[in-house]
Every structure is written in structure tokens, then in C-alpha cells.
Structure 1
């Protein structure tokens, strides 16, 4: 059955789905939540929970990356953020939290992010995380990757993340500007690379062929993103994840057994969204706003991404998210309200138990229903 509809005589559109339009279905079998495993591994690295902290200054600092690592997840530090531009970003983050006016906040952010990235601070921040004994991960955008890769690798990063709104394996640059050759870059690097975002089957398949260990799924689907309003681009996450999971299966056959992890990145505001992302085929999730709500998050009740302070076309906003609970309670509970903002892993464990699954990989086979909103 075709999932295309006609939106006018000269144009057809594909029917796609958001998390709000789908739900998972219990089966005939259930089990105790204590018998469920939420373990996840990528390359040689093992994690107790399938959660990555998004490389955003409102979400991850060296301290929160360490804290998430100790909770069993992976904190990814933004290597183009305030922590690698300023010796002590804490008073700057405090200052930003005190600015309520949106225009004034963007103006101040542009000033702060105009400071140069300092290689010695990259080394210091990643070294701080490494000394804590947790897995070290850092992220750069594609246009900064070649410039700082040597510094990042020498600092002892375990997992390297190349993250942009959208990353392609076939970028066309203006004359005189050499784009990043992802395949060559990943081949020559000694550490596994996670790259994205991708929102379609074809783009994900191309990224998998570069040798990436994982592919981030999403394009401006996060709470702080405004790409739908500014660029007209939208990639509803339920369909995007399922499409990229399909690319993973086909690439597994094409490559003779190489498994590339699918990591949902964006639009994951509640535990229900996280659960549905896993059901659609994600191996793990990268959380932004959900973790920015932590009372110990560096954003101090505010959340923003790099697009919010772009010099001429912001494609994101700084938004208030409040302080729901400490990071440990957001991840592992206990939750004190029934809105899906805390005990994310407890909710995942219970959903898996209710539908009869004991491991994350098998949970990808759970039944899904569609209901009109």
C-alpha cells in the first residue's frame, strides 16, 4: 500500500508519523521489570543505559558528562561551546540564566560564542572527564572537525561525534573550499565515530558506508530547534527512525555483517518518546531538553543549541525548561510527577516488561499502532 497522498495536482507528499501518532502494543507475554536489561554497547564500549547526553552547553558540562557516565550512560561534550572558549564558563552561564529577554540573550550569547576555541581547553575538559574513569566523548560540527581532530584524539577521546543539523556523505562546497571527506576521515581515525543527523533512508545508508559506528537520526526535531519555521524542514521522528533502521538492516546485508547503531537525536521530551524511539528501531537515544531539565544541568533552567546564536540566521531558540529534578532522578528515578519527565529508564524498563521483552534489541520488534491525533 502506498503511503503517498496528493496535496495538489502537481505535487504528491509522503505520509509520515510523529511520536504522538503512534503507540506500542502489549503482547500475550509480560515479565517483571527486574528481569529486563537496558544494556547497550557500541564498538568496544559497554553502557548500562542507552542514553547519550546531547553536546549542548545547557545539557553537558564536564561535571554532568561525568555524572551521566556514572549513571551508566554517555555524556558528549560540545567541543565548540563555552567550556572550550572560556577558562571559567560558570559565571557566564549564571549570567545567561538571569537574562529573560530573548533578544538580549541572543546578543549576549553571540558575544560569548565569538571567543576563539582554545585547544588547551579541549585537552583540559576531556582530560577532566577521563580522570573520572568514565567513557570520554566529544562532538564537533563538520566544518570544525578537520581543524581540531588531532587535538581531540590526543586528548584521549573514546568516541568522536560529528554532529550537525544534517550531515551528508556528498556535500558540495563552493570553489576553493574543500569539504570533509567523511569516508577517508573515519578510515584514518583510530577511534569510532558517530555521525549525523540523517533523516532519510538514503542519507543514512550513505553515512553508514563511510564506516561510521553510529548514525544520529533527526533534523531540527528538538525542543529548542526552529528549523520548521525558519527553513521549512521537518522530519517527524517515528518515520525517520524507522527509515534509518531499515537502512541499517540493508547495510548489514550489503556489508556482510557490519552493524551500525541508530541513535535517535531530537524530539525526545518524555519517557514515552524515548520508549517509542526504541520501538521504532533506535539502539540508543541522545537527549537534550529532557536532561536540561535537571536541577544540576549547566543551563540552570534554560535550554539552547548552537543554532540559537547563529550570526545571521538563528535556527533555534533559547527556551525555559525549568528544573524538574536532579539528573540522577531524571534518569533513574524516583519520579514524583506523572508527566514522563523523570525516571526515564524506569519507564523504559516497565514498558519492555509490559510488552514481554527482556532486551533492547528484541524490543525493536514490538507491535506499533497508529492513531489519528
Structure 2
């Protein structure tokens, strides 16, 4: 069966689907939500929910990473963000929250660029990691591929449990005429901690990332609510298709490697519980959440959300977006809630959706029947 459509006489392209295009079909059997098990394990680490906090300054601080860890998820601290550039970033966060209320504002962007131009301080990387470690939760930190060579030794020496390499798009075969590229396979081989790497949005790049030895691959470009990558670069792959393609790469890599399982983690465009449910149904093992957790009362962004791309010094690709506050972090993740729009009690909604379809385990839920309800988005 061909999935290509003719765009014009000189170009054909695959038909692709966003999560909103997908409907989940219940089976003949239902279960009680209390019977659903949302436990997730990656490498040697066990979690009570398949949730990773995105390494974005509006979402994760040391305090929120600790809080998420105690609730059963894993928070990832941005080790190139405000918490490693400023001894006390609270006034900086307050200033960002108080900027012009307009979402698109060149003045806001200019100020973000100025604030993020402060140098990264290695001693603060060590200090923030130690703070999270002292709380007794899994410690995870993120660097971009461009900064990994410079700072990874500080991160490892500080005692990180999980290392995340996250960029707009990350490949195992980056080629540069001006700088020595990061050799992901050699880098991961030499580390003593598991590595999650991405984003990737297609079968081939994801398969190559799996061959580097990564424990998990991030699917998507991250920062869905605040990213303008599609407008600025024209780069976008609808998430339902991206997850499904990379889940297939995972299966083929298992055959190729003799059974090594690489986790597929959906990252970006997961603003409500329905998106999370559909992402897991399409084959994701876990989700990395940004805007969904930025709505928590404890979130550093105080109801505003932005990613690292928003402060890029020469080509910013993101806006500071108002997402509001819907409850505490606990209420956002496990309830209870008074919100009916899928912005709170995310795990309760996931458990109920799985139970409604007769599934009690996350991996089994990846087999659920789905339908395409509408034409793909333009």
C-alpha cells in the first residue's frame, strides 16, 4: 500500500497524521481504572508514571524536578538554563513573567536573549545536581549537542543518573565543516549512565540513534506550545506518524540487536491528557511534558512557558506563551481536579482511557485499535 500523495507534478510526499487526527477505539472488554498499572522502567530506574519533565526553565527547577520525582515521574533540569547561569535565578524568572503580555514581541525576545547570554557556570551545574540528588530522587540533566563536549564531564562527576542530549533535531551522523562533531556512539559507549537523545522524527534517523546505544529516543522537536520551528524553518512532522515510524524502528532494532529495547519518548505537542493517551497508543513508552507541567502552580514560569530556542542569539524559534495555572503539580498529574479540558489529573485520564479499552499495562496499550477521524492537517 502506498502512503504517498502527489503534491504536484514534480513532488510526492507521504501522508502524515497529527495526534488530533487519531481516535482510540474501545474493545469489547473494559477494566476498572484502579486496576491499571502506570509503572514505567528505563534501564535500572523504575517510575510510577511514564512522565518526564521537559528541560525547560519555565517547567523544571531543582524544586519541581524533586517534586515530580517524589510523585513518580522524572524531572530533567536544563543545564544550560537560568539555574546554571545565575546563583539566584528567581529575580530573572520574575522579570520574564512580567514582560509584555503579548505572545509575539521582538522586545521580549531581545530581553530573553540578553538574560540567556550570561555564561554557564560549571560550579552551578554541580550545585543544582547535588540539590536534586540530596532529595533522594532520580537525577537527570540535559545539554544540547553543541554544549555536551564542553560540560558533560562536570555533569557526570556531579552524579547525574540519567543524561539527556536534547536538540531541535539530533542525528547520529552530524557533519560540520567548522567544528568537531559529537560522536554519539563513542560518547554513549564511554559513559556509565544511560542516555536519552533526540529529537528525531523519522524511522531512519531514529534507527541510527538507537544504534548509538541510547536508552531512549525523543520523538518530535520539543516545545510544542512555545516553539515556532515550523514557521521559522519549515520543519515539522506530525506526531502520530512520527511516533508510529519510530516505534517501528524500535521493533526492527530489537530484531537487529538481538532483543535490546530502546524506549520511545514522545516530546512536544502534548498539551492535554488526550494527547498523552494518543501518543502512548501510537507506540510511545513515555512522554516528555512541557506546557502541561508549566500549568502547575509550582512551575518556575508562573503561568508562562518558553523554551531554549526562544533565546537563541541569532535565530530565535520560540515565543513566551501564556499557559496559565490550573492547580498544583500533584493536581495536574494525579488530581483531583475541577477542570474538564484535559489539563489536570493527566494520569487519572490515562488510566481511565486504558481501562475503557480493556488494558492494564502500558506496553499492551500500544496495541490498541485506532482510527483516522479526519484528513491530515495542512
TM-score band w.r.t. shorter chain: over 0.9
Counterpart CA distance in 2 for 1:221 and 1:194 is 17
Contact 1:220 1:228 in 2 (8 A): no
Q: Against the structure 1 CA distance between its residues 151 and 221, is the aligned structure 2 distance closer, same or farther, given a 3 Å change threshold?
A: closer
Matching residue of 2:181: 179
- State TM-score, norm by structure 1: 0.98
Contact 1:221 1:236 in 2 (8 A): no
Q: 5 Å matches for 1:272-351? A: 272-351=274-353
Question: How far does residue 7 in structure 1 lie from its aligned partner after superposition?
Answer: 0.8
Q: Against the structure 1 CA distance between its residues 230 and 240, is the aligned structure 2 distance closer, same or farther, given a 3 Å change threshold?
A: same
Question: How far does residue 219 in structure 1 lie from its aligned partner after superposition?
Answer: 2.2
Contact 1:205 1:251 in 2 (8 A): yes
Question: How far does residue 105 in structure 1 lie from its aligned partner after superposition?
Answer: 2.0
Contact 2:202 2:246 in 1 (8 A): yes
Question: How far does residue 220 in structure 1 lie from its aligned partner after superposition?
Answer: 5.2
- For 1:76, what is the secondary structure of its paired residue? strand
- State TM-score, norm by structure 2: 0.97
- For 1:206, what is the secondary structure of its paired residue? helix
Q: 5 Å matches for 1:137-286? A: 137-175=140-178, 177-219=179-221, 222-286=224-288
Matching residue of 1:8: 8
Counterpart CA distance in 1 for 2:221 and 2:148 is 19
Matching residue of 1:63: 63
Contact 2:223 2:307 in 1 (8 A): no
Question: How far does residue 310 in structure 1 lie from its aligned partner after superposition?
Answer: 1.1
**Structure 2, unaligned stretches of length 5 or more?**
none
Matching residue of 2:93: 93
Question: How far does residue 110 in structure 1 lie from its aligned partner after superposition?
Answer: 1.1
Counterpart CA distance in 1 for 2:356 and 2:265 is 23
RMSD: 0.9
Counterpart CA distance in 1 for 2:260 and 2:352 is 31
Question: How far does residue 282 in structure 1 lie from its aligned partner after superposition?
Answer: 0.3
Contact 1:26 1:355 in 2 (8 A): yes
Contact 1:138 1:160 in 2 (8 A): yes
Aligned length in residues:
372
Contact 1:330 1:343 in 2 (8 A): yes
- For 1:5, what is the secondary structure of its paired residue? strand
Question: How far does residue 104 in structure 1 lie from its aligned partner after superposition?
Answer: 2.6
Contact 1:220 1:226 in 2 (8 A): no
Counterpart CA distance in 2 for 1:313 and 1:295 is 31
Counterpart CA distance in 1 for 2:16 and 2:302 is 35
- For 2:326, what is the secondary structure of its paired residue? coil
